[in-house]
Structure 1
Amino acid sequence: MTVEEYISQKRREQRALSDSSQQRRLREMLKKLARKNGFYTVPIQFYLTKKEQVAVDLHGLPNAKNAEQSLLHNHDYFELMYVRSGSCFNVFESEKITLHQGDILLLNPNAKHDPFTTSEGDCLFNIMLSRELFEQSMLPLLSDNHLISNFFVDYMYHINKTQDYLYFPSRNTKAISPFLEEIILEYINKEQGYVQVIESALVILFARLGRIFAQENHIESSVSNKLIVDVIVYLNQHSADVTLSSLAAEFGYSSGYLSKLIRKHTGQSFTDILSNFKLEKAKHLLETTAHSTDEIAQLTGFHDASYLSRSFRSKYGVTPSSCRDTSRRSL
């Protein structure tokens, strides 16, 4: 299936559903949530199959609206917006921006916004990227790409105040479009190996975007910023067995210097940030595997199931077994 065929098929489906009772109930529910909280949250699980970390969706039908009619939402994932044709409006809490054909917008999960298009010729693709995608596979490949890696790391590990979005105008993205088209095509057709092809295309896409942004804005890399990203990525990858001494040996700095660097950029101690990484991995294993609590304690570096259970309850407010039960009920 070509991208054009997918767009035609998707538009027919959207029109068929646009005035269904199910859609009306959904719109009313979202309005109530937005009125109550000021926004609602869109979960990535709504889009992903079990083996996927990336989802692609064509934005809904044209819908002219003013700022007062907007329903702001955020996500539990990163979102890459790509205007394939026409234009798109995006309402944020304090501004409204217009995107044109070829423009790209990368949003962090906390960004509250409401995108919409106004004419049939407008075609906006949303590419949804899970946090796990970056934690598990992409950050090491992006560590030299300071703009992009800092954007993701700042959000995930609270290193600095995160920008709501990065904007890449179309005048700079002509060489980028083929990678976006490939991601969309691979996702639509889901042929053998499509997950790996999409992730590979994303690495190239982000590398090109980071290069373009740095050249346009005359940005030189900061040694300390690069170091903290590299340190955080290494800690996450080796959380089960890393120590402050082994970290110092790996990077060639003293333990004291790295301890101060971590606290300066994250506001957390080495011990605290390491414990958070271990607990996040334990939670992921509880939700996605059949490993026992004892096995997970060993795999994540807690070594003792009782210690894992106490730490887990302190962070998440529930026991590991309760977390696993809740995850199974939601499937």
Structure 2
Amino acid sequence: MTRQEFEEALLPLTKQELLHQKNPAYFQEQYGRYHDPGYPALYARAEYIRNHVFLSESNIMDSLPGHLHFRSSNIRLNRQDRFSDVPIHHHGYIELNYVFSGNCTAIVNKRKIPMTAGDICIMDRLAEHTILPTGIDDIVLNIMLATDYFSNTFIGSLLSGGAVARFLAGVIDQANEHNQYLLFHTEHDPLVKEIIENIFIEYLNPGICCEDVLRYYLNLLFIELARCYQGDMERRHHQKNKRYITEILNYMEQNFSSCSLEGVAKKFNYHPNYLSRLIKSETGLTFQENISENRMNRAVFLLKNSDMPIYKIVSECGYQNQNFFYRKFTKKFGQTPKEYRDSQSAQ
């Protein structure tokens, strides 16, 4: 099976999906008893889930029987039924939801999570969750892994994987609460999509050593997700710094005559060394070079637009030594301050 054939195979509606599409109130057979009005416990109907996003002990489905999900392997794959109402539930295994195309809304631990193509949500076995009914163009792929898939050796290979390694380590820790989840945005990482397609193609068309191949691909997937997570954190940090750097530079421009690196760092809660590197990386100039530029720009403005004596301009721009100012100005503009003012007046 090629990738194109796999992608085409995801599109046709199944009989189950046609039934859901024609009758939105229909529930899959395995969920039926949870929606029988005569059933003693009050389990959440999909309408209630959509309107209230509420969880209580009485409306969370128990784990589904293991044989529905794992037959001869500790790995099970499927495609989420479109148009399907599924009650909030939890499992005895790890679940990974991948939005192959379109979008969907997941509910995990009472939190509504909009997901778009490329997003991945990994849930530990007691995370209470559902995916609200999807449309015809919304393809969600599910990878379910028995807890014995994970081993200390595998977790050890991800020691540098940050949050991903910590999450997976929690999976095999019996003392853990097992209700955690991680969300990844991988739309800009084509390798993730390629790996997941390879996993499904191998699963649907098993060859020799199929389970070894699947394990290889899954290990590669988790390593790539660790990289994605780290990259996402770095991008968020960079965007946060981008917002702050504008505010910092504006502050420096308004207070160039008196501000210092230590003073600005304290005001914006940065370490001076980190702030110095941040300003250099964002502007190409050091802190002091930025201050010098601001001072010179102010001096030029005053020379062109006022009759203020030059010695007062020197003080106004934060310089303590007039000779030092003259040297800096002449080096930058090729003229003394007086020559510059005279040349501007002659124009």
TM-score between both structures, scaled by the size of structure 1: 0.56
- What per-residue deviation string (whole Å, max 9, x for no partner) do you get for residues 23-80 of structure 1? 6653331335662732112344312232x111110101224x7xxxx62101111111
* Higher normalized helix content (fraction of residues): 1
- Which residues in structure 2 correspond to 1:14-93 (within 5 Å)? 14-15=16-17, 25-31=29-35, 32=39, 35=43, 37-40=58-61, 41-50=63-72, 52-63=73-84, 71-93=87-109
Gaps of 5+ in 2: 44-56, 236-347
Residues of 2 paired with 1:205 and 1:71: CA distance? 29
Contact 2:94 2:123 in 1 (8 A): yes
Partner of 1:237 in structure 2?
Answer: none
Contact 1:43 1:76 in 2 (8 A): no
Identity percentage over the alignment? 22
Aligned residue identity for 1:116: L
- Which residues in structure 2 correspond to 1:160-199 (within 5 Å)? 164-199=180-215
Residues of 2 paired with 1:15 and 1:163: CA distance? 30
RMSD: 3.0
Residues of 2 paired with 1:154 and 1:29: CA distance? 33
**Per-residue deviation, 1:159:** 5.8
- Which residues in structure 2 correspond to 1:92-241 (within 5 Å)? 92-135=108-151, 138-158=154-174, 164-218=180-234
Aligned partner of residue 107 in structure 2, secondary structure = strand
Aligned partner of residue 207 in structure 1, secondary structure = helix
**Structure (1 or 2) with the larger CA radius of gyration:** 2
Contact 2:82 2:139 in 1 (8 A): no
Partner of 1:6 in structure 2?
Answer: 9
Aligned residue identity for 1:4: E
Residues of 1 paired with 2:158 and 2:42: CA distance? 35
Contact 1:106 1:167 in 2 (8 A): yes
Aligned residue identity for 1:28: G
Q: Which has the higher contact order (CA 8 A, sep 6+)?
A: 1
TM-score between both structures, scaled by the size of structure 2: 0.53
Partner of 1:265 in structure 2?
Answer: none
Residues of 1 paired with 2:152 and 2:10: CA distance? 32
Residues of 1 paired with 2:178 and 2:31: CA distance? 30
Question: Which has the higher mean CA deviation after the structures are superposed, 208-217 or 179-188?
Answer: 208-217
Contact 2:100 2:140 in 1 (8 A): yes
Aligned partner of residue 145 in structure 1, secondary structure = coil
Aligned residue identity for 1:124: V
Gaps of 5+ in 1: 220-331
